[in-house]
Amino acid sequence: MPIPQKINDIVAYQQPHDSIFSRLIYRKISKVLTFYMLRWIPGIAAPDVTIISFVIGLVGAVGLLYPAWWAKILAFVCIQLSFAFDCSDGEVARMTGRGSKFGIWFDSISDRTKEIVWFFAVAYQYYPVYEQAYYLAAAASLGNLLVGYLREAKKSIFLAE
């Protein structure tokens, strides 16, 4: 795989059926992240990027646990950056030609885990004021898992073709 020469070389490897928010924000950030990761980290693979996304997402969850304003800003930045790295892992897989069913599964599992941790971190903040916060976090987590399952089922249909 040749190393990309320009940031816009990444665009051809981006997912065509993304949400509008991903196309307008995250894909613009992810192509820069992908470009520099492929240039500066020889041999990087998509699961490595998934792990980076997961760790940054967990840092965001820790930021959600603290009531200080700076922690909320840290959480916001980390969660948004985690989404951008989540876009990058697929770009790296497609560019290096080393995508796999395991990578798709690992990406999906790490995404759902991050999101559930975020729900419960927010619930932790609201529990002293609203005692049903954990029930809402559990309901949101269940809904998130169902949506994730449907999204992954749709992906597997496309892979089979």
Per-residue pLDDT of 42-83, as tens digits, reads 899 999 999 999 999 999 999 999 989 999 999 999 999 999
Which region among 45-59, 88-102, 121-135 has the lowest average model confidence (pLDDT)? 121-135
Q: How does residue 29 score in pLDDT terms, banded at 50, 70 and 90?
A: very high
**DSSP per residue, 87-106:** HHHHHHHHHHT---HHHHHH
More confident residue, 31 or 144: 31
| Model confidence pTM above 0.85 | no
Give the C-alpha separation, 45 to 41, whole Å. 10
121-135 average pLDDT score: 81
The two tokens of residue 103 are 């990578």
Instruction: Return the structure tokens found at 107.
Output: 């990406």
What average pLDDT does this structure show over 37-41? 91
User: Who has greater pLDDT, 136 or 3?
Assistant: 136
Amino acid identity for residue 12 in this structure? A
Q: Are 30 and 91 in contact (CB under 8 A)?
A: yes
Within 41-132, residue ranges assigned H as helices are: 46-65, 69-96, 101-126
Cβ neighbours of 134 (radius 10 Å): 15
